[in-house]
Every structure is written in C-alpha cells, then in structure tokens.
Amino acid sequence: MWSFNLLEKVTEAVISHRPDWVIRVSLKQSDGLIAKTQSKLYPIAARWLERAKKAYHLKGQDAEWQAYIDNLRATYARRPALQREIQGL
C-alpha cells in the first residue's frame, strides 16, 4: 500500500502543474480498484475520483468530469456500495 500513499502525495503536489497527468493516474487507479469488485476498496477509489475531479476543474473541464462520473454511475448502477461512495462527486 505504500505505493498508493506515495502516488497520492505526488499527485497532490503536482495537480496544479500537471492536471492532465493527475487525471490519467487518478482514473487509472480508481478504475483498477473498482474493477476488483471489493466494496472495501471503493472509498479509496472515491478518493482517486475526487482528485480527478479537482484536476478537471483546474483545467476548466467540469463538463468532461460530469460526463465521466455520469457514465461511471450508469456503468456500475448495480453496485450500491460504490454508488454510496461516489454520491456527491
């Protein structure tokens, strides 16, 4: 788990300078965690999604973020634990 912690710190440090990279890394991390279908990982995935949302916002791409999260909600509509975690994103 140390690598997640380190990667989280790096993405937080560079988010204002490299938002595109932060978006790619954050979505890759969240997608990987969600794909494991373990509800205990959903809070971590949600943290990655929050980071991606922030990077999209910094780029002025709120509409792109909304499209991404709407698609995620629709794709995983049958996972109530995930839906709870991403509610409000």
One-character DSSP codes across 45-72: HHHHHHHHHHHHHHTT-HHHHHHHHHHH
Domain segments of the chain as ranges: 37-89
Q: Residue 46: what are its φ and ψ, rounded to 5°?
A: -65, -35
What pLDDT score was predicted for residue 5? 83
In 3D space, the residue among 39, 42, 31 whose CA is nearest the CA of residue 72 turns out to be 31
Whole-model pTM? 0.91
What does the angle CA 6 – CA 27 – CA 11 come to, to the nearest 5 degrees? 30
Give yes or no for a contact between 34 and 77, defined as CB atoms under 8 angstroms apart: no
| Across 61-69, average pLDDT | 98
- pLDDT tens-digit series, residues 13-61: 999 999 999 999 999 999 999 999 999 999 999 999 999 999 999 999 9
